[in-house]
Chain A
Amino acid sequence: MIVELGAFALILAFALSAAQAGLSFAGRRGRNASLRGAGEGAALVAFAAIAFAFASLMTAFVTSDFSVLNVANNSHSEKPLLYKVAAVWGSHEGSMLLWDLALTGFGAAIVLAGGGLPTNLRSVTVGVQGLLGVLFIGYTAFASNPFVRVPNPPVEGASLNPILQDPFLAIHPPFLYSGYVGFSVVFSLCVAVLIEGRVDAAFARWVRPWALAAWSLLTIGITLGSFWAYYELGWGGWWFWDPVENASFMPWLAGAALLHSAIVTEKRGALTGWTVFLGLAAFSFSMLGAFLVRSGILTSVHAFAVDPKRGSILLGILAVAAGGGLGLFAWRAPDLKPGGLFAPVSREGALVLNNLFLATAALMVMVGTLYPLIYQAITGQPLSVGAPFYNLAFGLLMAVILLVMPVATLLSWKRADAKGAVQRLWAAALTVVGAVALAFLLQNPKTGFAILGVALGVWLIAGALSELAHRIRLGATTLSDSVTRLTHLPRSALGMTLAHIGVGVFVLGACVELNGRVEVAKVLATGETVGIGAYHLTLSGVSTVEGPNFTAERARVDVNGPSGPGVLFPERRFYPANRQTVSQVAIDVHGASDLYVVFGERREGAKPTWLIRAYWNPFARLIFLGPLIMALGGALSLSDRRLRLVAGRKAVAAAQTKAAT
């Protein structure tokens, strides 16, 4: 019964989204406050309806109602509760419902938090968000409905792929989808300002909090997925340049470019058209990603069950939404006024450079992802574009822009003194020299790229701190004055510093881990030892363990090293429901570095032996810590903007009072 109610709520949400669009546009056209209000009300109720539908699907999963096809295909009665819940978004149909939940959730958020927006703009934004709802909820309800019943329910479900039964993967999609879909608000706002002809500095201020929220959530979502791959897939890889990873990386890069261009638009009224374009591009990339993942057009380790019919519908949605937005932009862009003047060497100039590189990076990922398709269509031959391509081309592109980042943050608006900015970085440069010398002394084995990575990472971190020190006049004034200045800094400034430190931490971790990784593999009987770096691993026993829905062979590995003895329990788990074996890695964390142990297959012989593989992954933790610091920087910046939104609302209220008198 609850399932039928859920299906009904889904259809209801579709109708409400249509009403949300229709009423909002009619309200804008007729300047009718009741119609506008009704449109906003529809947005709120649409969210409630989707939330209800989502809850009913979750109920079906938790109670293992196998008469629902989606539950029968993706769940199992013996699965732990967390994974029953996570299985709701583990399938194509369920994840579309999660997408709809985020879409209507952000629609409701515009209504609740968008008080600072001018009335007309707000109505059009809510209306456009409603149109997006019609497209995506319509797709879910009519082409990918998760509430379909089966006439003859199976006794037991087919269960979820065991490698997906993991707590990090359980929370990865909600963050990822909130990020993807968060850009829908940015998209709707951009379409609304183009329609209303209000592309100006104020627009950048309205768009920035939404872009910050979406980008920070997407950052966390991508990082969770990457961390999961790192410890679950069993060879320590954390980014594979897989088409689906690229699909999430494209909106991330466009969003990062948008955050930077919006600053120029807000502060100087320049780059207005470009900022709107990026706002449209970010969500278009999100939709492109949804299409790539679900159409099966690209071979990927992540692809959902392939269905060409659904793929073509999603392509249609992408064409209508992205094509509509970008077409409107092409039509309106010539009317946009150029903004404030600035010299090439200035904060604006530096942010333009940032945008050139970030936009090129997004383009490169898109070209690399789609190239095999186009190549095959033209030549008939398949082509691979994989990690070695990106490591070279993308690495080159990023190295250039990251090198100038610390200088860029020190340039002043309009016209800057480049020499002065470079001179202010003397302390950062000295730190780099020291760090490189230290890395050269301590690193074993020595690799040039790892040391270059240390140099770049430390340059970014020290550069970000130098900018902060300059801002609070550390050393140029008394210490207490500097502390006072620090506490009075706007949170957006601190957010920027933090996010830039996060980039440095990531670069440091990624370069050192990729180039300094040590690996051993040895077949051991119990009692035998293998050495890796400064550590000795002894396989001291193997036992059989019964899990909730798996049986595991568990090794006891004793670790001896500089930081004293320790013990690790890597496993091989067999899931009878899927007839799959999955390795459960054991990780011994040493500061920022990981000792990563994988328990391999059993080899029969006079005495049974097992393949033990171990990796020393130096600075691996920084790879995941860096992006979390970036997201934290985004959140800090966002907390500043909230005050601004209130200020904006007060200003609007004041203007209205004034107009009334």
Chain B
Amino acid sequence: MTRKARAIIGALCALWLTAGAAGDPADQLPNPAQEGRARHLFQEIRCLVCQNESIDDSEAQLADDLRRIVREQIRSGRTDAEVRSFLVARYGKFVLLKPPFDTGTALLWLGPFGVLAAAAVIVWRRRPSGKLADEPPLTPEEQEKLEHLRSS
């Protein structure tokens, strides 16, 4: 065995930095509609041990386990909402990349839109109330200046 080949085998044991393992054909559900739902859910579920990746992107062992759980649940006929609440019951809200709307996250979901609405109301109410009259005609001095500028 050459040194290079050994290096490559060593590489296989080293840390993987490539991602996208969710598409591994060996794990896919036979029903394409179910597999599609699973893939969609994967994108909403956080790989809990990773920095900031969904289980659709991550190759960590935990992401692999979570994918297996999600696929298993979908295969057994659970709805997306049921799968989500199962995961939340197990791992907490942290597992969802799209936080559910509740009292604790209302400010996150509605805050920016609320600020937009409030700002729009303020801008509307404070709009200049003066009448948009036409500009007053030029004074004779201004007229003279204009002629001067035009001729130069």
A binding-site residues for B, Cβ under 8 Å: 162-163, 233-237, 240, 242-243, 299-301, 303, 338, 341-344, 352, 356-357, 359-360, 363-364, 367-368, 371, 375, 379, 381-389, 392-393, 397, 414-415, 519-523, 544, 546, 551, 553, 572, 574, 576, 579-583, 598, 600-602, 611, 613
Contact = CB atoms under 8 A, between A and B. Distances in A.
Interface in B3-56: 4-5, 7-8, 10-12, 14-20, 23-26, 43-44, 46, 51-54
Interface string B113-125: 1011001100110
A520 B20 CA distance: 11
Nearest to A344: B127
Contacts of A602: 8, 12
A581 B18 contact: yes
A27 B145 CA distance: 38
Interface stretch (B60-68, B72-80, B95-103, B136-144): B95-103
Nearest to A553: B8
A150 B4 CA distance: 34
5 contacts: A342-B132, A367-B111, A387-B54, A388-B97, A544-B5
A551 B52 contact: no
A387 B43 contact: yes
A546 B132 contact: no
A521 B25 contact: yes
A368 B108 contact: yes
Given A299-B51, A379-B104, A544-B8, A389 B14 contact: no
Contact of A383 (B54, B99, B132): B99
Contacts of A611: 24
A151 to B, nearest CB: 31
Contacts of B113: 360, 393, 397
B123 A343 contact: no
A375 B18 contact: no
B38 to A, nearest CB: 13
Contacts of B23: 519-521, 613
A258 B94 CA distance: 35
Given A367-B111, A384-B99, A581-B15, A551 B25 contact: no
B7 A387 contact: no
Contact of B53 (A301, A344, A414): A301
Interface of B: 2, 4-5, 7-8, 10-12, 14-20, 23-26, 43-44, 46, 51-54, 57, 92-99, 104-105, 107-109, 111-113, 115-116, 119-120, 123-124, 127-128, 130, 132
A584 B122 CA distance: 53
A367 B115 CA distance: 12
B132 A414 contact: yes
Given A356-B120, A383-B94, A601-B16, 20 more contacts: A235-B19, A235-B57, A300-B51, A341-B128, A342-B128, A342-B132, A356-B116, A356-B119, A363-B111, A381-B93, A382-B94, A384-B95, A384-B99, A385-B99, A392-B98, A397-B116, A574-B14, A581-B14, A581-B17, A600-B18
Contact of A237 (B10, B57, B119): B57
Contacts of B93: 381-384
A369 to B, nearest CB: 11
Given A360-B112, A386-B54, A574 B119 contact: no
Interface pairs A-B: 4 shortest CB-CB: A386-B97, A235-B20, A574-B11, A388-B98
Nearest to B27: A521
Contacts of A233: 18-19
Contact of A574 (B10, B44, B99, B130): B10
A300 B92 contact: no
Given A299-B51, A382-B92, A523 B25 contact: yes
A367 B119 CA distance: 17
A491 B123 CA distance: 32
A357 B99 contact: no
A69 B94 CA distance: 38
Nearest to A523: B25
Given A381-B93, A601-B12, A299 B52 contact: yes
A579 B16 CA distance: 10
A360 B104 CA distance: 21
A388 B92 contact: no
B51 to A, nearest CB: 5
Contacts of A371: 105, 107-108
B48 to A, nearest CB: 9
Contacts of A383: 93-94, 99, 104-105
Contact of B18 (A234, A300, A359): A234
Contacts of B11: 551, 572, 574, 581
Given A384-B97, A551-B4, A393 B15 contact: no
Contacts of B96: 384
Contacts of B20: 234-236, 521, 598, 613
A343 B132 contact: yes
B104 A341 contact: no
B10, B19, B44, B51 pick with most chain A CB within 10 angstroms: B51
Contacts of A235: 19-20, 57
A602 B8 CA distance: 10
A388 B23 CA distance: 20
A338 B12 contact: no
B44 A388 contact: yes
A384 B47 CA distance: 11
